[in-house]
Every structure is written in C-alpha cells, then in structure tokens.
Amino acid sequence: MMIPAMPHTVASSDSLELAAPVDEPGDSLKVLVVEDDRPTRLLLERMIRGRGHEVHGCESAEQARDLLGRIFFPLIVLDIQLPGMNGLEFCRLLRGHSDGKYYYVLVGTGNNRPDDLKEILDAGADDYIGKPYHPGLLDVRLAVAEAAVKDIAERRRLENDLEFLADHDPLTKLFNRRRMGTAVEEAVAAAREGRIGALLYIDLDNFKVVNDTLGHDAGDRLLLTVADILRATVRAEDVLVRFGGDEFVIILQDCPVSDALNIGESLRENIENLVFAEKGRTFRVGASIGIVPIDGTRETSDVLGVADAACYAAKAGGRNRVELYRETGGALEALVADNDWSSRIKNAMQEGTLELWYQPVVAVVGRSILCHEVLLRLADRQNGAPVHPAAFLSAVQRSGLTARLDRHVISNTIKFLASRPDIHLSINISGSSFANTDFVEFVESTLAAHAIDPARIIFEITESEVVANLGQAVGMMTALRKRGFRFALDDFGTGTSSMNYLKSLPIDMIKVEGSFVQRLDADPFNQAVLMAVQALATALNIPLVAEYVESREVYDLLANMGVDYIQGYLAGEPRITPYTENELFSSQIFRETHGG
C-alpha cells in the first residue's frame, strides 16, 4: 500500500517556494503554460485542454513562481524568451529546488541549433519543441510528457514509501526502532533540563496462542488492533514504537510518573478488554507493561534495558500487570542489575559457562534410548544453581543472538559426540537459522572437522517456526536430510496450520506438545488430542514422542495408545551427563514396566 505524501510547502535558499507534490486524479493533469505571447498561450491552452487536462496560463517566470508556490503543476510548458527571468534561468531555479525533480518541463523554442538545444537540456528541461507549434507534433510531445509524469509520480510515491519505512513499521505504521532511539535521546535530554518523562515497554500476553492457532495473518490483524488501541489511549505528542514481534514501546515526554502509571494502567485495561474474534473463535490477550521514569539520571542506552526488566518482572509477577521500576533495592533492581542478557550470554559462550545438559528420549516398548535432547543451562558461579533458559531466551531473541546461539550449541554438541561414539543427540534450532544461507555449509563443515556420522544428530524445529518459514525450512531440512541428518517436529499441536503441510515436511519424528501430556489421565480432551495425533503419526509412519511424562498413570495411557517414545522426569531428569541404559533400567519406570 502506498503511503500518501502529506501536504506541505518547502522553501529553498533561492527564495523559490513549491507546493508539495500531490497525486493527480486519473489521467487528468494540472498543466502550467508559461508564455508571454497571448495568442500562442491561448492556442496551447486550448490544445492541452483538448487532451482532458486542467490548464493555467501566465506570461512570465515571476508569475509562474508565484503559482507554483500555491499549486502543484506536474507538467510545465515553458517558453524560453520571457520578460524578466528567461525560461532557462527559471528552469535552473526549479531544478535547484529539492522538489524540482518532480516536474516535467517541456520547453518551446524558436531556435534549432544543436548548441541551443543542448543548452536547453543542460538547464534541466526534459524535452523541447520547435515554434511555431505544430498540432500533430505537439500532441506527440504531450503524450510523451503524460507518460513521463506518471513515471515521475510513481517514483515519488516509492521514494515517499521508502522514506516513511525508514522510520516506521510496515505493518502497524507505528515508529520503528530507528526512530525510537532518537525519541529516547530527546526525552533524556529534555529530562536533564527538568522535563521528566517515562518509557513504557509493552509485551502482549498470549499472543503466541493466536498466532499458532489461527496463523500469522490473524496475528497481524490482532497487532493492528492493538496498535489502534495504543493510538487511542496515549497523547498526541507521545512516540509509539513497534519494537518487534508483539512488543511495543511508548516514549512519554513531559510526563510525571503518576501520569505514566495512569496511561500504563489504561493501556493494560483496554488491551485486556479486547475480544479478538476470528473463524468462529474468540481470544483474549493481556499486556505486561514495564515503566521506567526518564529523569536524566540514566543514559539513553540504559533506559530500554531497565524498562525491559520491569516488563519481565510484570510477566514473572503473573502477567497482565503494570510494573514501575523503583530504586528500592528490591527484587526488580536485582533483576535490572542482572538483565543485560545479551552481554551475559556472549560472555558465557566465550568462557564456557553455557552448559549442555541432556535428557533421554526412551522407547515405550523395550529399554533402549533413542537419543538425548540437548538442553541449555547457564552456570551461575555466584549462586551455584544453574539458570534455566526460560530466564534468558526471550532476551536472546530480542537482541538477535538466536542464530549465533544455535551455532554455539551445534559446535559444542558435535564436539561432544566425537568423544562419545555410543550416543545420539537431538539439538533444538530456531527459525532464525533458516534465514542464513550458509547454515547448511556451517553444519557440514563442523561435522567434517570431527568426522561424525550425521545420522547421530536429530535437529528439532518447532511447529510454529516451520509454518512461519515453510519454504526456507523445507529447503534447509531437505538439504541436510540428503546428507544423513534427521529432523523432529517439536511442540506439535500448539497450532493447526501445519496439519496441511505435515505430509510434505521432511521429518523423521513428531514430538507432541507437553501441555497435552501433563495430567493426561485427568483430561479427556487431551486424551482425544493424543489419540488423534498418534493415529496421524501412524498413518504417516512417523514415530511419536510424548514430552513431559511425569507419572505412571500418564505413561500407562501413552503405552495403551501406542506412543513410541517418551521424554520426561519419569524416565530421566535433565542432567549434565547423558544416561546409560543400565542407569535407566534401574529407574522407577523400568523397574515397573520390565520387572527389574
């Protein structure tokens, strides 16, 4: 969709003012004829009107300059010999203006010497026509001019679009990150002059449910609705930013903390009251909102991180709430002090404190271990307990480190496989890796360096990311499967759109979403889902893995359904070393099911 130019008037240092270019309706143009000979001017006006255009005439460059300051004429027919400023001088003046490129200038001349014609073109004219005007030749020149004006208008619209998109999100038309940085700098500078402001960091709750259930088009429509709510709730002078995905930022200048809290709470309530209905289903979303005062004590680069931490605290506190950062020494301050996950994860990858843990995937029938899933834990040398990835993965995604983290895990997993020829491992990879054209080459070269059989590696890709990047995902998966790697479709069941594509996806295994497995024995709906997925997997001859298996009752149901593999605490908790089958044989599930 083209972004319309807003009307304005621009002045240049040459005292020429031009009305802002506007789109002409249909094929009719506004044409300015600048000709001091009245009979010739009237003749031109009549012929141009005959082509369906609106014509204004004047007899001097000075009059033309006045008219162009009030009206946009995309086509100008200009005589060279004019009283006062001549046509070539006026043409140079016009082209010297920043908007002068948006006019088509046809010069009428009684001279036909090559040097004279070259001077006309050098002055910036688009075309010329000899005088006296011949109707047939004038028609040809005007037809060429009309086509050129359309091309100029299209180029101008594209330039306006690009200029708009440099600072705006293409979906919501809110500002983007580039404009946000400038707005935060301005707010910090204003705060240091005594005008306190605030920044709101908004993360939608349960947006993924809509995206996964109804698809990304529905998710986009929901984001557009939320953007409208933001516009209707905040003040006209506030800066609204789509930060990425389902996250938004609002910069409030000259806004006391009490007012910022009121705005934040109004936003939360308005989003909470939104009922999103589509395809016969209704959904509600909420908003976790972090607020940080912009009072001049914090550098521009720190403001967003503190607000992000406050938003994270709002989510950790139960979601759909507003959290104000306060210098109180409480839990939020500790969270902020530890919130620069981007730097922390980078350091962990360099220092080796990002650990690989392992959880077994076990056959329901028999005692064999199919593979171990590689899980991440961040070693915390101060507190001792490892940090679960739920604490940092969202920050890693926002900072654009996901693909780099994927490669770190793949490299270290392959290196570990070289020291353990007895095991197979599955590795989670993100949708960010699909966009990297050298990902397949990276995997192959890393594997070759350690002489590992690719069949020992299973790549896990989530259902939502496969559907969102279907073409890229299928291409990458096909290329790697030809080399012997295997693929598992993880979190199956969180959406419905991939059902249509499942039969064409090059996968070797389905891992059903764990929320359908937990408390399976107490939820008939989940039992129906599992039975349907098992029937689908059987029809496609693809093994099915049930995650989050934590009780004997759930295990029994899965065994009766014919599920092939299980993963969960009942079979083996994640730990820093892989299990042996002898260890699993002594565990609860194997003692009970195999009489150990």
Asked if 589 contacts 583 with a C-beta cutoff of 8 angstroms, the reply is no
Integer-rounded Cα radius of gyration of the chain: 33
Please state the length of the chain: 596
* Residue 536, pLDDT score: 86
User: Which residues fall within 8 angstroms of residue 313, CB to CB, at 6 or more apart?
Assistant: 290, 323, 331, 332, 335
Cα distance between residue 129 and residue 137, in whole Å: 8
Mean pLDDT score across all residues of the chain: 84
Cα distance between residue 433 and residue 426, in whole Å: 16
Asked if 253 contacts 244 with a C-beta cutoff of 8 angstroms, the reply is no
Question: Phi and psi dihedrals of 70, rounded to 5?
Answer: -110, -30
* Residue 66, pLDDT score: 93
pLDDT in tens, the chain (596 residues): 333 333 333 333 357 888 888 877 677 899 999 999 999 999 899 999 999 999 999 999 999 999 999 999 999 999 988 998 999 999 999 999 988 899 999 998 887 778 878 888 999 999 989 888 888 888 899 999 889 989 888 888 887 777 777 788 888 999 988 888 889 999 999 988 889 999 999 999 888 878 777 888 888 999 999 999 999 988 888 999 998 889 999 999 889 888 999 999 999 999 988 888 887 788 888 899 999 999 888 888 788 888 888 888 788 777 888 988 866 544 454 454 445 677 788 888 888 889 999 999 999 987 789 999 999 998 876 666 788 787 777 777 766 788 889 999 999 999 999 999 999 999 999 877 876 778 899 999 999 999 899 999 999 988 767 766 677 788 888 999 999 999 998 888 765 444 556 767 889 999 988 888 877 888 888 888 889 889 888 888 999 999 989 888 899 999 999 999 999 888 888 999 999 888 776 555 555 554 44
Residue 351, SS3?
Answer: helix
Asked if 420 contacts 449 with a C-beta cutoff of 8 angstroms, the reply is no
User: What's the pTM value of the predicted model, to 2 decimals?
Assistant: 0.47
pLDDT tens digit sequence for 7-44: 333 333 357 888 888 877 677 899 999 999 999 999 89
Q: Check the CA dihedral 215-216-218-223 and report its sign.
A: positive
Residue 414, Cβ neighbours under 10 Å: how many?
22
In 460-478, which positions are buried (b, 16+ CB within 10 angstroms) versus exposed (e)? bbbbbbbbbbbebbbebbe
* Residue 4, pLDDT score: 35
Cα distance between residue 402 and residue 520, in whole Å: 33
**What is the largest distance, in Å, between two alpha-carbon atoms of the chain?**
112
What are the extents of the domains in the chain?
Answer: 9-165, 177-337, 357-594
Tokens at residue 380, please?
A: 């915390």
* Residue 35, pLDDT score: 92
* Residue 8, pLDDT score: 37
- Alpha-carbon distance values, 464 to 84, 140, 529 (Å): 70, 57, 18
Amino acid at 341: W
Residue 224, SS3?
Answer: helix
* Residue 361, pLDDT score: 95
Question: Phi and psi dihedrals of 66, rounded to 5?
Answer: -65, -45
Tokens at residue 88, please?
A: 């070539």
Query: Hey, what CATH class is 357-594 in?
Result: alpha beta
* Residue 450, pLDDT score: 92
Q: Check the CA dihedral 206-209-215-221 and report its sign.
A: negative
Query: Hey, what CATH class is 9-165 in?
Result: alpha beta
- Number of alpha carbons in the 13 Å side-chain half-sphere of residue 529: 19
Cα distance between residue 462 and residue 443, in whole Å: 19
User: Which residues fall within 8 angstroms of residue 400, CB to CB, at 6 or more apart?
Assistant: 432
Question: Phi and psi dihedrals of 373, rounded to 5?
Answer: -80, 135
Strand ranges inside 219-312, DSSP E: 239-244, 247-252, 275-278, 281-284, 286-294
Q: Provide CATH code, domain 177-337.
A: 3.30.70.270
| DSSP letters spanning 491-514 | EETS-SGGGGTGGGS--SEEEE-G
318: left (phi over 0), alpha (psi -120 to 50) or beta: left
Cα distance between residue 562 and residue 577, in whole Å: 29
Residue 580, SS3?
Answer: coil
DSSP state, 520? G
Q: Check the CA dihedral 366-367-372-378 and report its sign.
A: positive
Asked if 417 contacts 456 with a C-beta cutoff of 8 angstroms, the reply is yes
Asked if 293 contacts 258 with a C-beta cutoff of 8 angstroms, the reply is no
Packing angle of the helix pair 87-95, 61-68 (nearest 10 deg): 30
Asked if 51 contacts 147 with a C-beta cutoff of 8 angstroms, the reply is no
Cα–Cα–Cα angle for 311, 314, 318, nearest 5°? 145
Three-state SS for 157-190 is HHHHHHHHHCCECCCCCCECHHHHHHHHHHHHHH
Cα distance between residue 494 and residue 504, in whole Å: 19
Residue 478, SS3?
Answer: helix
Asked if 454 contacts 417 with a C-beta cutoff of 8 angstroms, the reply is no
* Residue 107, pLDDT score: 92
User: Which residues fall within 8 angstroms of residue 300, CB to CB, at 6 or more apart?
Assistant: 181, 184, 185, 188
Asked if 3 contacts 164 with a C-beta cutoff of 8 angstroms, the reply is yes
